[in-house]
Amino acid sequence: MTQLQSPAVGPSTGPALTADERDELLRLRRENEALRTAGPRPRSKFRWRSLLATVLIVLGCVLAPVAGVSVWVHNQVSNTDRFVRTMGPLVEDPDVQNALTNRLTATVFQYVDVKGLADDAVDALAAQGLPPQIATRLGTLTPTLASAVTGFAHDKIAELVASPAFASAWNQAIRVAHRQMVMLLSGERESVVIRGDTVYLDLAPFIGLVKERLSNAGLTAVDLVPEVHPTVALAKADTLVRAQTAYSTLDTVASVLPWVVLLLLAVGVYLARNRFRALVGTGLGIVLAMLFLGASLLVARGMLVGAVPARAAPATASGFDIVVTYLRLGLRALAVLGLVLALAGFLAGRSDSAVRIRRWTADHLHGIRGGPSGDGRVARAVRGNIRVLRIGAVAIAVLAFVFMEQPTGGTILVIAALLLVALAVIEFLAGPATPEIEVADDAGATRTADAQAPAAVPPAPREGPDVSASR
């Protein structure tokens, strides 16, 4: 009888698998296991979550212009100090100054009849023995004298309107008028006098300044002007009723609607399957909404200018542009914010171009660092907390934007640039991470291993039982 024994299986002496070969082997094993255990393909379901995300994002973008207008109404109309800051530059506009000068000049000479005074003086001289020929010649000069005095007074009033004293009086009058207008829009009509179907602005505070300036210039006849209240038409009464309704509605939602818009957009992006693509859509939607609001302001400006007489059109156009200055600045800032969000969503997305851009940037930063030398203490600490550091940098940028009183497009671009610099510094300090691969053991479980480490030698299988045969 002869006993035969199988030789013991020792460790493999072949070449070790490379990292790519290990990855490929692992991928083939997983695909094989998936094909073996996969059942029938389930029927595709309608993606309600994606539809809801799209609806929320579109609704938020549509409500964004309404939220912007409501915030502007709340900040500029309801707040007297901000309204004065908005309307104060109005008196510095040449068209507005010209309109005020003409109105004040007409008010002065409504009570000072220069030609009548000159004719009375000529008649008094004639009664005192002035030769009739001279009296007749002097009488022919009274219209010229009246015109000269009117021009002189007009020039002096124009100088007054352009002076700092008039600007100070203007701001005070605007402050009083705004307080009255807020009360009027709130429904307290007893504080403002409405004549017929028109609301007027009282120019009485400026008449005293005009009388003082002309009297100091030698035209003492202005002392004949009594205490009067010339007015400038502001709006129609029916327009005021609509303004009251709009004021009440927008003021009510001003403190809520912006947060509702933000919540709609945030939830929409969160529910989306591809959140970075949803962020790109949100940013572009905000840009389109702000472009629509800007176009609406241009249409409103054209309608307002076309509704007034031609001589008042320049002052009306200038006044409209000054009044909506902060609204235009706000919509431009939001448009820039939308572009920044769209760009951020694209760069952080999964598209091939975005991946190439990120990889190219990281390679250059690592090249500046000097190659894969990220084994120091700082590099390991940064690399181990890189996700937290990136989230913290983004959070700081968001808080800086939120707590700015009046962010502009320029400040948003500065914040975005500083955020990019912070992310680049984090990547630079972290250095290139040592790639890891997954290695499957005999039980089918996987573990991670350093790709640069030598391949682990698989353990030798246990020797099987002796095989005996008898002859």
Cβ(430)–Cβ(420) below 8 Å: no
Dihedral of the CA atoms 299, 300, 306, 310 (nearest 10)?
-110
Q: Please name the helix (run of DSSP H) or strand (run of DSSP E) that holds residue 195, with its range, or none.
A: strand 194-195
Residues in the chain, total: 471
Kindly report the number of other CB atoms within 10 A of residue 228's CB atom. 13
Cβ(60)–Cβ(259) below 8 Å: no
> Which amino acid makes up residue 165?
A
Block means of pLDDT (10 residues each) for the chain, 471 residues, are 44 53 74 69 64 93 89 76 75 79 82 76 74 75 80 83 80 74 62 60 68 71 69 64 70 83 92 90 94 91 84 79 84 92 89 86 77 66 85 89 82 90 86 53 44 43 43 36
Rounded-to-integer distance, Cα 418 and Cα 154, Å:
55
> Which pair of tokens denotes residue 49?
């979550």
Quote the DSSP letter at residue 468. Answer: B
The DSSP bridge partners found for residue 198 are 195, 236
Q: Which of 371, 382, 395 minimizes the C-alpha distance to 425? A: 382
Helix, coil or strand: residue 184: helix
Cβ(452)–Cβ(390) below 8 Å: no
Rounded-to-integer distance, Cα 97 and Cα 81, Å:
22
CA 109, 215, 101: angle at the middle one, nearest 5?
A: 45
Please tell me the predicted confidence (pLDDT) of residue 19: 59
Please tell me the predicted confidence (pLDDT) of residue 199: 67
Rounded-to-integer distance, Cα 130 and Cα 200, Å:
49
Residue 35 CB contacts under 8 Å (≥ 6 apart), including other chains: none
| Helices 237-253 & 164-185 angle (0-180, nearest 10) | 80
Rounded-to-integer distance, Cα 363 and Cα 2, Å:
67
Rounded-to-integer distance, Cα 18 and Cα 380, Å:
26
Rounded-to-integer distance, Cα 295 and Cα 316, Å:
18
Helix, coil or strand: residue 439: strand
> Which pair of tokens denotes residue 63?
């409500």
Please tell me the predicted confidence (pLDDT) of residue 317: 83
CA distances from 204 to 16, 226, 232, 271, 467 (A): 98, 11, 11, 60, 122
Cβ(426)–Cβ(390) below 8 Å: yes
CA distances from 346 to 47, 59, 281, 350, 415 (A): 23, 22, 10, 8, 18
Rounded-to-integer distance, Cα 471 and Cα 200, Å:
128
Rounded-to-integer distance, Cα 44 and Cα 34, Å:
19
Please tell me the predicted confidence (pLDDT) of residue 471: 36
Rounded-to-integer distance, Cα 368 and Cα 361, Å:
11
Quote the DSSP letter at residue 73. Answer: I
Rounded-to-integer distance, Cα 159 and Cα 4, Å:
125
> Which pair of tokens denotes residue 378?
């700082």
Helix, coil or strand: residue 450: strand
